[in-house]
């Protein structure tokens, strides 16, 4: 699919001229023409302006089909522990990012000693 063809078909479907798109989006009519004819590749910001001007959601510029597409499954971060443990690790991460290398090595050494001590008890 060529994005310019898709934009043109959506514009014509809504019975809008390139001048209408210019007024609604602030993009110059000649630029809209260049995009529709494949001479220019629009940025994501430009595509957002075009989708607003066409009064369609942005994904529709990339979707060719009848009806709505299935929404993608959300990407979930793999958690290794509870929410409380995740928050604690995030705090450690923030604090460790502000410490020097020698302090991080010292903390790592202490953590190893504490873990070894716990195993032997």
What residues does each domain of the chain span?
Answer: 3-61, 83-120
CA 65 – CA 85 distance, rounded (Å): 44
What is the tens place of the pLDDT at every residue in 20-52?
999 999 999 999 999 999 899 999 999 999 999
Structure tokens, 28: 């110059």
CATH, range 3-61: 1.10.260.40
Q: How many CB atoms lie within 10 A of CB 88?
A: 12
What is the model's pLDDT at position 29?
94
What is the model's pLDDT at position 85?
83
What is the tens place of the pLDDT at every residue in 11-22?
999 999 999 999
Report the pLDDT averaged over residues 103-115. 87
CA 7 – CA 61 distance, rounded (Å): 7
């Amino acid at each position: 699919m060529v994005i310019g063809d898709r934009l043109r078909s959506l514009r014509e479907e809504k019975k809008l001229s390139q001048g209408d798109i210019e007024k609604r989006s602030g993009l110059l009519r000649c630029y809209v023409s260049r995009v529709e004819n494949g001479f220019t590749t629009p940025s994501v910001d430009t595509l957002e302006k075009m989708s607003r001007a066409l009064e369609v959601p942005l994904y529709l510029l990339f979707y060719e089909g009848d009806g709505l597409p299935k929404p993608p499954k959300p990407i979930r971060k793999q958690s290794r522990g509870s929410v409380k443990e995740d928050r604690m690790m995030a705090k450690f991460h923030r604090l460790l990012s502000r410490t020097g290398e020698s302090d991080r090595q010292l903390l790592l050494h202490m953590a190893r000693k504490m873990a070894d001590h716990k195993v032997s008890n």
